Each structure stands twice: as C-alpha cells, then as structure tokens.
Amino acid sequence: MSIQGITESDIANYLANTPGFFERHAELTSSIQLTSPHGQRAVSLQERQMEMLRGKIKGLEQKIIEMIRHGQENVAISDRLHHWTRALMLTRDAKELPEVLVSELMYQFMIPQGGVRLWGVAPAHEAMPFAAAVSADAKSFAASLTVPYCGANAAFEAAQWLDDPATATSLALIPLRPSPEAEVFGLLVLASSDPTRYTADMGTEFLMRIGDVASAALARLLPD
C-alpha cells in the first residue's frame, strides 16, 4: 500500500516513534475498527488492546500455575530424599545398610525393583548377600560409568540381582564411589517394567545425588 509515496511501514514507524499521537487524537482509539481474533466482528482499537492484554495475562497465569506445580513437585521430591537419607542415618548396624538403602529408596520413589552389589568390603561382611560374587566385566562396566546409565535392559548382569529380572525392561545403573576420584566399590540398580521409566535421554543429576548419598552411607562397609 502506498499513498503519494508513503508506505504502511512509514506510517507504522511514525506511530511507533510518536508516542503522543494518540493522546493528541484520542478520538481515533474508539473510531478505528479492527477485526477481533475471536471472530469476524469489528472491534475498536481500545477493545483490541484489551483483548491482547487479556491474552498476555492468561499466558502469564498459565506460567505461574506451571511454576507452582513444579515447585510442589520439587518439594515432594526433597521430602522423599530427606526421609530416605534419614533412614540411612538411623541405621546403626552397618551390615543392614544395603537392605535399608534399597528398600527405602524403592518405597519413597515408587521404584518397582532395586538391588545393590558391593566388592572389596571388610572381611566381616564378605559373606553377606550384598557382597556376592560380581564378574570382572560387571566391575569394569561400573568403573567406566562417569554418570549413571539409564536405558533399556541390554541383558546386564546387574539385572540378575533383582527379584524378578525378567520384568526389568528399563534400568538405572548407578556407580558407587566414596569420592569422585576414588575407585568404584559397588553398583546400585533400579529397575522398572515400564520401558519409559529410565531412558537414555533423561537427566541424571538427581540419580547422581542418589549415588553420592548411597556411596557415603555404604562406605562404612569398606575396610578401615
């Protein structure tokens, strides 16, 4: 559109750079007719602005609701982690720690199956179920993990530590280290029959924190 060399862009730029125009010509705000986005009816500029404002407010309300929901979920996760950690701290007999750790973790986070194996434990604990033999390949795999493995159960040896290995479709395998630079001394396995519970593209930061707490607790079973 062009009237005597003036384009729509020229008009738009003029209005954008002349904020006092509609103050000096207030009658235009009610006489200019625009098409409503909610139908084909014509509305005034003022009404169109109000509709746009209501749309922005609705979008902000949805964002606030989403933030509140995420906040509530984070609080719930924090509470579960607190209860799990507390249960570990209240376990006085060190040899009971693996059972408490796995069972409480499954209960708090609704995990169908879980298991743990440790190696290099103190002689007093070598006969315990959690210290049962682990192959060199499984130990090597655990040592290679810098972050937890999440994904399909590709016939991992760790799946055999579960009560029902056949139903373990997806797994989270968490290496246990007393410190980031220390050698791995165990592997924690979490499993589900839901193939989407643990996937290769999921974040592992929370599982890493689980591993840190578990490693710190189970380090009591290592030689002094």
Q: Each residue of 65-97: pLDDT tens digit?
A: 778 877 777 778 889 999 999 999 999 999 999
Domain 91-221 has CATH 3.30.450.40: yes
**Contacts by residues 75-80 (CB-CB < 8 Å, ≥ 24 positions apart):** 77/206, 80/108, 80/109
Identity of the amino acid at 22: F
Q: How many CA atoms lie within 13 A of 214 on its CB side?
A: 30
Say if residue 33's pLDDT is above 80: no
Whether the pTM exceeds 0.85: the reply is no
The label of the residue with tokens 């059972």 reads 99
Phi-psi region of 192 (alpha: psi -120 to 50; beta: other; left: phi over 0): beta
pLDDT at 105 over 90: yes
User: CATH 3.30.450.40 in the chain, residues?
Assistant: 91-221
pLDDT at residue 114 tops 60: yes
Do 171 and 199 touch, CB atoms closer than 8 A? no
